[in-house]
Amino acid sequence: MTQHADAIVKVTWYQRWHAIYRLTRLDKPVGIWLLLWPTLWGLLVAGEGYPSIKITIVFVVGTILMRSAGCVFNDIADRHWDGAVARTQYRPLVTGELSVKQAYLVAFSLLLMAFVLVCQLDWLVVIWSIPAVFLTISYPYTKRFFAVPQAYLGLAFGFGIPMAFVAIQGHTTATAWYLLFATFCWAIAYDTEYAMVDRDDDAKIGIRSSALTFGRYDVAMIMGCFCLMMLTWAWLGVTLALAWPFWTGWGIAIVQIVLQFQRIRARQTQACFKAFLHNVWIGASLTIGLMLSYWL
């Protein structure tokens, strides 16, 4: 049985640290990879395959910190709703293992560490990090009023791309915005698959999601977003004159998308969740192909 969202239960120090571990979703690294792949795209393209080690480390560690902070802010915002959703009813703020005050302390500590990290780079990158923080904190609240909050998530998950260009080249380019658009489409696709898992619970408690908004056109919209993503990548592949390893990775990603269609077409909960998880491999295929294209 879950506790009220604001009720606190007695826990040991080990249990509290384990609760923080779960609160930041470090036990579920899929989200880290989904945020990291687009960031690596930006770093690889902006650095023509050879971004500096320092910048790469800052962005990789920063990605982990910001994703963890985003998860905490999400749980704070949703603590009164999560108990009514089967998938989230045992989250630490719902069970009372952590208080809201403790959650805020964790979140702002993560943001502080990310800020100290980004300060190691050019001041322009620091300025660009401000809207990134805003997107991270505000995203959970878009589920209250925005019909497709997954689109907002797409901006948040792709914002590392223009930041990478600013860090390496000192400015953004059209290529950066094409990459952001590809990430935007991808996030709508995979997070709609994720939202299909919670569709019934979200409808009961009044949470907005693309799965509810798209209705019976959900699968078609997911595939449409995947198509836009891959067409954008094809355009980039041609304009950047990427070599055969990229096109191999692009082709493997296409095959995985077709397999995802087979999984989600029946709209079964577990199949949709597995499809969401497998997006990690779509990102990996494109990233490895892109990297080898520059290196070979």
Q: How buried is 240 (Cβ within 10 angstroms: 0-12 exposed, 13-18 middle, 19+ buried)?
A: middle
| Residue 1, pLDDT score | 38
* Residue 2, in any domain of the structure: no
How many C-beta neighbours within 10 Å does residue 82 have? 23
Q: Place 87 in a pLDDT band, splitting at 50, 70 and 90.
A: confident
Q: Is 216 within a domain?
A: yes
Residue 45 lies in a domain: yes
Instruction: State how far the Cα of 76 lies from the Cα of 101, in Å rounded to an integer.
Output: 10
pLDDT per position as a tens digit, 156-181? 999 999 999 999 999 999 999 999 99
pLDDT digits (tens, 9 = 90+) for 96-129: 999 999 999 999 999 999 999 999 999 999 999 9
- Entry pTM: 0.93
CA triple 34-35-40, angle to 5 deg: 100
What CATH number does residue 137 fall under? 1.10.357.140
What whole-number percentage of the chain has pLDDT above 90? 88
Overall size of the chain counted in residues = 296
Residue 198: how many other CB atoms lie within 10 Å: 21
Domain annotation covers residue 3: no
**Residue 266 above 50 pLDDT?**
yes
The pLDDT score that the predictor gives to residue 8 is 59
Q: Exposed, middle or buried by CB within 10 Å (0-12, 13-18, 19+), for 7?
A: exposed
35 within some domain: yes
User: Distance between alpha carbon 188 and the CA centroid of its chain, in Å?
Assistant: 10
The domain total for the chain is 1
Range of the domain at 254: 13-295
Does some domain include residue 137?
yes
- Residue 95: the pLDDT is 92
Is residue 4 one of the residues assigned to a domain?
no
Domain-embedded: residue 21:
yes
More confidently predicted of 83 and 182: 182
Distance CA 138, CA 143 (A): 10
Distance CA 8, CA 212 (A): 33
3-state secondary structure of 231: helix
pLDDT > 70: percent of the chain: 97
Q: 7 falls in which pLDDT band (50, 70, 90)?
A: low
Both tokens assigned to 281: 């491999």
Given this model, what pLDDT does residue 2 score? 43
Looking at residue 9, its pLDDT comes to 67
Residue 11 DSSP label: -
Residue 218 pLDDT exceeds 70: yes
